[in-house]
Amino acid sequence: MSTKHRHHHNTIDLTCSHILCKVDDIRTAVADFAAAGFTVTWGSTPAKAHNALIWFESGPFIELFELPRRFGLLRLPFGLAYGAPAGARLARWAAPGEGWRDVALETEETDLVGAHLALQETGIPGSRVMKGRRITPDGTRVRYQFLAPRPHLPFVVSAYDPPQRPATVTHPNGAHSITRVRFDVAERDRKAFDTLAGADPWLAAEPAARTAVRSVELAGLTGEIDPATVHGAVFERSPACS
């Protein structure tokens, strides 16, 4: 059995799964990120997809997602069904604007029973476990689970079933991995953030007035990324490859 949900020095042993970038139009965003030198994979059939993925061979990946503002109106019914933190998270995802919107932390397991129990034991308010699924462009049915602590903190996801990471990934811009996710953390959120993500090697907490993703550092970039092409996402070149 995995130990990913067990306590280690007052933290839950979770690792950074992916960083979410909200976009207004997923098809435009996929074309623009491809023009910026990223290899982008549709989450499901392109004609119906609302998300797309930028994979790396190891470490965190990036998810581009489109969620119309009207989905924020479902905050109350979604919260009644899955708990207030779930409704608040949905409203946050649906809020207007583009750019980094959230971070997911993952377990190695395909269910979140252990992670949910561990979260309850910490006293951090969280939603019930929610189940998701999608069908990839090649017809594979993918299942996953997720749960939401209070807004602004990272949320928790299970491993994909079946696994989705490609064996090899090449990006024309040279990027080969995410080396760090710079994450602004407000003082009021710091204890809870450290409990959730304190053991993670990618998330770097930095004091700030509000809790949110600041930037993503990429290793291997052969040039600068034009900010105009990446829909509000802020990238930096890893110092290790500069």
The tens digit of pLDDT for each residue in 39-79 reads: 999 999 999 999 999 999 999 999 999 999 999 999 999 99
Strands (E), the chain: 7-8, 11-12, 15-22, 41-42, 51-54, 61-65, 99-106, 130-135, 141-147, 155-157, 177-185, 203-207, 212-219, 235-237
How many Å apart are CA 114 and CA 103, to the nearest integer? 20
How far apart CA 107 and CA 114 sit, in angstroms, is 9
Question: Where residue 5 falls among pLDDT bands split at 50, 70, 90?
Answer: very low
Percent of the chain with pLDDT over 70: 94
Percent over 90 (pLDDT), the chain: 90
Residue with more model confidence, 198 or 98:
98
Q: What pLDDT does 13 receive?
A: 79
Cβ–Cβ under 8 Å, residues 157 and 131: no
Average pLDDT for 115-123:
91
Answer yes or no: pTM beyond 0.75.
yes
Which residues lie closer than 8 Å to 200 by C-beta, 6 or more apart?
Answer: 14, 15, 16, 105
Ordered by where they begin, the domains of the chain are 7-172 (3.10.180.10)
Strand 130-135: give its sheet, edge to edge. 41-42, 51-54, 61-65, 15-22, 99-106, 155-157, 141-147, 130-135
DSSP state of 149: B
- pLDDT per residue as tens digits for the range 199-231: 899 999 999 999 999 999 999 999 999 999 999
